Amino acid sequence: MTSTAQAPQPGAGTAHPEHLGHVIFIAAAAAMGGFLFGYDSSVINGAVEAIRDRYNVGPAALAQVIAIALIGCAIGAATAGRIADRIGRIRCMQIASVLFTISAVGSALPFALWDLAFWRIVGGFAIGMASVIGPAYIAEVAPAAYRGRLGSFQQAAIVIGIAISQLVNWGLLNAAGGNQRGQLMGLEAWQVMLGVMVIPAVLYGMLSFAIPESPRFLLSVGKRERAKEILAEVEGKGVDLDARVGEIEHAMRSEHKSTFKDLLGGGFFFKPIVWVGIGLSVFQQFVGINVAFYYSSTLWQSVGVDPTQSFFYSFTTSIINIVGTVIAMIFVDRIGRKPLALIGSAGMVVGLALEAWAFSYDLVDGKLPATQGWVALIAAHVFVLFFALSWGVVVWVFLGEMFPNRIRAAALGVAASAQWIANWAITASFPSLASWNLSATYIIYTVFAALSIPFVLKFVKETKGKALEEMG
């Protein structure tokens, strides 16, 4: 599936819809998939310790149950484009909604550990679909004059989904008396945490019936009149609809369908630019960011923090994540992608190094000494802030801009796959590494954050202010 990301044609870039609120509603409804992406990715944080206790599993088996959703993510992301090109973007959203709902119910009512793992794969597949469909649909429907701002809805929805999941988990834990296995509505608290996602999943499905199909897809299946109606709805009746339809059809005919073979060449198998994209994806994950969202409550409890407080700290971290994302959106076009990435890397090195130092101290009565405890807490928030205001947003901007037109789609697919694999590696390895040596684990993340600085300086080229056609 491809988006209409080419330079706007005359008339398209100046289109201003009469009902901007309606266009915002359409983009926000599509971005609900991003909300579920964030929510589902993070909600497991509230259930880790309860799953460990209920099924009496060690760190390695526990890690596989947590990380296995990423296998579904990779499959969903890899297949979503073809599914959407065959049956439409809206139908794809509806399938994701159903899978999200089924996964939430199944995860809340597991009868064995393998059963829970299966439902997490199903939810992961839906996440993968949502991660592809939302941005592509918004890009295809949004008027060119508003495309950048409306496109940011997806990332904003993801970080809001993470924050809301942590807030809901904290509220449910309090209702259960601070016990993840406490009784709530006839279930254990952690089961309710996983089951609550039914609500936004169903809402996502309902919203998908209230928004129009992508004009680009409609034209691909010969529905020109319906495509014109939607273009008039989102770009304004003053636009020459026949000309716009002609522009989109011309762009679709002239597009080069990039393949994996196009990425080969040069040394070391792939073209150098593809390796740069893979490097950006791997560094983004190897700094350990998803430990903060999958395992933060477990991490704080392991150093003596009360479970209810640990959930609250997970929520405050997710609020910092939102703040950092907003900062990145404000500055990414002002100071550039590369400077922002370097600022973020430097800040992450400081935050991670301080965490590693704090965790190197022995526990006293099951807790970190007071000074080290506060340093660890503040440093964790510093790390998340600097990640969010830089690599969390900048990597996706780079990946969307840095590749030459003729290999962009295929190269982006490979880079995104590398990101899911790196995410899985960090998620699956953390419990065992933390059991071995928590401080050393954070030293490893610090080293990767430090190595990202020379990588960006030497290999990454600034893309700010350059047309996509200039990338080579």
Residue type for position 293:
F
Q: And the tokens for 229?
A: 């109606």
Whole-angstrom CA distances from 233 to 9, 252, 256, 316, 395 are 18, 21, 29, 40, 33
d(CA 313, CA 297): 8
CB 143 within 8 A of CB 234: yes
How many residues are recorded in the chain? 472
Please report which helix (H) or strand (E) contains residue 338, including its range. Answer: helix 337-359
Ranges in the chain, pLDDT < 50:
1-14, 468-469
d(CA 359, CA 443): 10
Strands (E), 185-227: 187-188
Helices assigned H by DSSP within 360-407: 370-388, 391-401
3 state SS for 241-271: HHHHHHHHHHHHHHCCCCCHHHHECCCCCEC
Comparing CA positions, the residue from 117, 432, 460 lying closest to residue 284 is 460
pLDDT value at position 66? 86
Comparing CA positions, the residue from 385, 396, 397, 401 lying closest to residue 325 is 385
CB 213 within 8 A of CB 86: no
CB 263 within 8 A of CB 410: yes
d(CA 343, CA 388): 11
Q: And the tokens for 440?
A: 């050393």
- Per the listing, tokens 């995104």 go with 416
d(CA 366, CA 387): 30
SS3 of 176, please? coil
CB 273 within 8 A of CB 402: yes
CB 283 within 8 A of CB 455: yes
pLDDT digits (tens, 9 = 90+) for 367-411: 888 899 899 999 999 999 999 999 988 888 888 778 887 777 678
pLDDT value at position 2? 42
pLDDT digits (tens, 9 = 90+) for 405-455: 777 767 877 888 888 889 889 988 998 898 899 999 999 999 999 999 999
Backbone angles phi, psi at 364, to 5 degrees: -115, 115
Residue 144 DSSP one-character state: G
